[in-house]
Structure 1
Amino acid sequence: MFSELSAQKEGSSLLRGPDSEDAGPVFERASPAYSPRTERYGLGDRSFSRQYAHIYAARLMHMRPLLADRARNKWGSNAPVKKLCDLETGEQCCIVGTLFKRMELQPSILKEISEEHNLLPQPARTKFISETDELILEDELQRIKLEGKIDKDKCVTGSVIAIYGAEKNDGKFTVEDFCTADLPLQTSRPALSSDRFVLLTSGLGLGSHNADSMLGLQLLVDMVTGQLGGLGEQSGAATISRVLLAGNLLSQNTQDKDASTKAKYLTKKTQAGSVEAIRLLDELLLQLVASVPVDVMPGQYDPTNYTLPQQPLHRCMFPLSSVYPTLQLASNPYEANIDGVRFLGTSGQNVCDIQRYSSMDSHLEILEETLRLRHLAPTAPDTLGCFPFYQKDPFILDECPHVYFSGNAPAFQSKLIKGSDGQEVLLVTIPDFSSTQTACLVNLRTLQCEPISFTAFSTDEDEESEMNVSH
């Protein structure tokens, strides 16, 4: 067991063993260089008076030259890159545009209103794709219906792609091939001399009254702060240089989505539950930030703005932990350099939305698809709430990350992918901790990722295997 020295040295801490106050093993936690890169996700003037068409126009204008170069590299420099207004029937050419998928099952406010008039309500669905869906490509002036060699079920609205084929006499464009922007250029990682880890977790789900979840969460905190295990585990805990909490810190149970139909006393109880969950979160953060730097991202159920990009949680909600300089309240999406390793990710809303409106089920597959599209949230603002940006689309990926993650996934998955220009990216789906009792550790030196799990009840052998982290 540890007793912590409260020596703060630019975010580092010393961990001392219990043999005596002046003697015993002392472990100094690694203190990585850290620089946040979230300026692009700041909202500034929060005006919702603009039309959302501007963000699509900015997205297409930014992506068109990238995709035109990709198209020439793939289909030859002789392949003409045209706009829809210049199309000629039967001519083989390349078109760069934004996909739009017309979906009969897509939720509509008009269908929701029809329920109030006792008409047939729309059935509850987890996916909204159907055989009647139509795929359309549009640019600044026109749109055209697509058919041919392109999987309409996998595609989602808002993706900017390049297609190759010809317009037929029926007015539809027959696609022979298509391409995405693929991975952007990447800065090289520095060579680290020793293992340093960043712990990623999400979906703490505070306020759910789940005793097993709270026990696992406290075990996680004790492991990070060095209160768990023997000297080997304690020295291993000292190599965890940073903790990242990727959204949904509060449980869905703390939300008040039916305030207009609930009785007032029920509404007050729900609000009180949210306040109590924030107080509990502050106490847990206090244990962490006294020992290790912590980045806190908001998520779908947390008290901040609903639309992306979600702004950092306010410091006034954390009177205990906010006095520590090691607490970093971050935005969603999150972007930062940790020891020269560029982290980029979200709390999972973008991945879950694409899962609903496409045939893709694997969060890891969706994560790779958004990276190859060079866009964090292609379905925003169509089916995913986002701020109406006017002159830029901050979700476009101009630089390739080294670690690309998504929070609140049903299970842990990781994959190392390589790009054509030597890029190496670690994809990580961070599991929902309240349901899986699992977090994950990313090694900054090797870009390897491993899960770490905690259970409420297990044998001594199981407990040792699940709570001992090998580095």
Structure 2
Amino acid sequence: MFSELSAQREASSLLCRPASEDQGPVFDRVLQAYTPCSERFKLGERSFSRQYAHIYAARLMQMRPLLTERAQQKWGVNVRIRKLCDLQTGEQCCIVGTLFKHMELQPSILKEISEEHNLLPQPARARYISDADELILEDELQRIKLEGKIDKDKCVTGSVIAIYGAEKNDGKFTVEEFCTADLPLQTPRPSLSSDKFVLLASGLGLGSSHADSMLGLQLLVDMITGQLGDQGEQSGAASISRVLLAGNLLSQSTQNKEDSTKAKYLTKKTQAGSVEAIRLLDELLLQLVASVPVDVMPGQYDPTNYTLPQQPLHRCMFPLCSVYPTLQLVSNPYQANIDGVKFLGTSGQNVSDIQKYSSVDSHLDILENTLRLRHLAPTAPDTLGCYPFYQKDPFVLEECPHVYFSGNAPSFESKLVKGPDGQEVLLVTVPEFSSTQMACLVNLRTLECEPVTFSAFSADDDDESEMNISH
């Protein structure tokens, strides 16, 4: 797609003799209309004195009308919709509630520090699911155990769903069917007359010791700024209207947790690894923002608050590039309107957390599940750090995006999902650049997505390795 457009440009090749001694043509970068829409993820006065039960109550209140409507569409307008306190044994009915997954293997600090039972610390696990897990449905007043036709391994705590079935004599609810809120309504996507691209990249991993990663990163910057290739490639680079960096700009190695436990006199003259990494990031961003608008999202290893929603990085950390109006420091999650195409995405913490507590392997499938649940981070605040919201849950999707992405994925995947009311959403898992040397390009006109790979010399490669850039 992108490479084909670049090849079709009428321009000379690098292997041809220069036509003249002049500088050559100058390609103007395409312009786009941009409207940030992340206000609901911005925190004003922060208070952590509230209980987390309020966010579950607010989530259920927001989702109940949506799920009631969806249940009536699925099981008929005359379906009995009951609350748990009104259940009658043997009656076929529908219940709307929040799932709680009781997991024996779920890490608990109380288990680890318990002295009366002399428990050993739990071993590190990639997943915490087991056959002994139980599903429980809660509403404002009561809870009930679930059994039947619902896959407990694929469900996670915090999901608001509607179930249909009946309560048995043993006090458990036998599920016959269930449904989610599914995709919200979507604003029609405008028709664009020309191809415009948004480049998505994540997991730059600055501050690590991999030199080949830095070479690939510089190649990426050179491609975006039009300093690679012949005139056809430069003309193609001019069609990249925006760059979005989706978190983990710094490497995990910049977080030295041992320094926080050392005596102050031992760390008095040492410098945190993140200081040099931020300086490198500032210099890289300076090259980009001088040529193209850039949105910078924070991630798990970046110097901002740990809990979701993560607030934008502070401008004082970027003395070189912060003077450019093309630099936008944004929150995680991120939402914006680019030429009428609505983008929504995260740096990947929500997807990685769901993967630990469910049997779903693919990041793309998890991304689709959160879209159909109509919630960005259902496992927050149970196993994912989250601010204790009181009156409203900002992670509930009120409008359907056109592009829904997740950063720091192990590999690149994309998929076009269609909703029951004609919605079309492009799902994209943006790979971690430091390990895959890969970014991806989204065409705003067609909603097509393709990866861009930068491979370079590495100490682990054979002598016959060669550097290449492929679309």
Per the normalisation by structure 1, the TM-score is: 0.92
Query: Which residue identity does 2:433 align to in structure 1?
Result: F
Q: Verify the 8 A CA contact 1:101 1:135 in the aligned structure 2.
A: yes
Paired with 1:442 and 1:421, the residues of 2 have a C-alpha distance of: 24
Q: Verify the 8 A CA contact 2:103 2:133 in the aligned structure 1.
A: yes
Aligned to 1:64: 64
Structure 1 gaps, min length 5 = 1-16
Query: Which residue identity does 1:420 align to in structure 2?
Result: P
Number of matched residues?
452
Aligned to 2:455: 455
Aligned to 1:371: 371
Q: Verify the 8 A CA contact 2:111 2:119 in the aligned structure 1.
A: no
Aligned to 2:173: 173
Paired with 1:424 and 1:232, the residues of 2 have a C-alpha distance of: 32
RMSD between aligned residues: 2.2
Paired with 1:248 and 1:117, the residues of 2 have a C-alpha distance of: 39
Paired with 1:96 and 1:268, the residues of 2 have a C-alpha distance of: 56
Aligned to 1:3: none
Aligned to 2:436: 436
Q: Verify the 8 A CA contact 2:220 2:454 in the aligned structure 1.
A: yes
SS of the aligned residue for 1:454 comes to: strand
SS of the aligned residue for 2:321 comes to: coil
Q: Verify the 8 A CA contact 1:256 1:267 in the aligned structure 2.
A: no
SS of the aligned residue for 1:430 comes to: strand
SS of the aligned residue for 1:440 comes to: strand
Aligned to 2:11: none
Paired with 1:291 and 1:39, the residues of 2 have a C-alpha distance of: 27
Q: Verify the 8 A CA contact 2:254 2:274 in the aligned structure 1.
A: yes
Q: Verify the 8 A CA contact 1:254 1:271 in the aligned structure 2.
A: no
Aligned to 2:227: 227
Matches within 5 A, 1:41-120: 41-114=41-114, 119-120=119-120
Answer with 270-279 or 190-199: which moved more.
270-279
Paired with 1:312 and 1:269, the residues of 2 have a C-alpha distance of: 29
SS of the aligned residue for 2:151 comes to: coil
Q: Verify the 8 A CA contact 2:443 2:449 in the aligned structure 1.
A: yes
Matches within 5 A, 1:361-400: 361-400=361-400
CA drift at 1:19: 8.5
Q: Verify the 8 A CA contact 2:346 2:406 in the aligned structure 1.
A: yes
Does residue 467 (structure 1) correspond to residue 469 (structure 2)? The answer is: yes
Paired with 2:240 and 2:214, the residues of 1 have a C-alpha distance of: 22
Q: Are residues 418 and 95 of structure 1, via their aligned partners in 2, closer, same or farther at CA, if it must alter by over 3 Å?
A: same
- What does the per-residue CA deviation read over 1:304-324, in whole Å, with 9 as the maximum and x for residues that have no partner? 000000000000000000000
Paired with 2:21 and 2:163, the residues of 1 have a C-alpha distance of: 69
Paired with 2:339 and 2:421, the residues of 1 have a C-alpha distance of: 22
Paired with 1:30 and 1:211, the residues of 2 have a C-alpha distance of: 33
Aligned to 1:153: 153
- What does the per-residue CA deviation read over 1:168-203, in whole Å, with 9 as the maximum and x for residues that have no partner? 000000000000000000001110111100000000
Per the normalisation by structure 2, the TM-score is: 0.92
Query: Which residue identity does 1:388 align to in structure 2?
Result: P
CA drift at 1:45: 1.3
Q: Verify the 8 A CA contact 2:454 2:470 in the aligned structure 1.
A: no
CA drift at 1:107: 0.5
CA drift at 1:124: 1.0
Paired with 2:225 and 2:308, the residues of 1 have a C-alpha distance of: 32
Aligned to 1:10: none
SS of the aligned residue for 2:94 comes to: strand
SS of the aligned residue for 2:27 comes to: strand
Matches within 5 A, 1:282-293: 282-293=282-293
- What does the per-residue CA deviation read over 1:413-449, in whole Å, with 9 as the maximum and x for residues that have no partner? 0000111111000000000000000000000000000
Q: Verify the 8 A CA contact 1:254 1:270 in the aligned structure 2.
A: no
Paired with 2:243 and 2:204, the residues of 1 have a C-alpha distance of: 13
Percent identity between the two aligned chains: 83
Paired with 1:44 and 1:213, the residues of 2 have a C-alpha distance of: 37
Paired with 1:330 and 1:49, the residues of 2 have a C-alpha distance of: 26
CA drift at 1:289: 0.2
Paired with 1:279 and 1:446, the residues of 2 have a C-alpha distance of: 37
Matches within 5 A, 1:67-466: 67-114=67-114, 119-262=119-262, 271-457=271-457, 466=468
Paired with 2:55 and 2:197, the residues of 1 have a C-alpha distance of: 37
Paired with 1:114 and 1:157, the residues of 2 have a C-alpha distance of: 25
Structure 2 gaps, min length 5 = 1-13
Q: Are residues 213 and 117 of structure 1, via their aligned partners in 2, closer, same or farther at CA, if it must alter by over 3 Å?
A: farther
Paired with 1:270 and 1:94, the residues of 2 have a C-alpha distance of: 61
CA drift at 1:258: 3.4
Q: Are residues 22 and 230 of structure 1, via their aligned partners in 2, closer, same or farther at CA, if it must alter by over 3 Å?
A: closer
Q: Verify the 8 A CA contact 1:254 1:273 in the aligned structure 2.
A: yes
SS of the aligned residue for 1:275 comes to: helix
Aligned to 2:38: 38
Paired with 2:263 and 2:409, the residues of 1 have a C-alpha distance of: 33
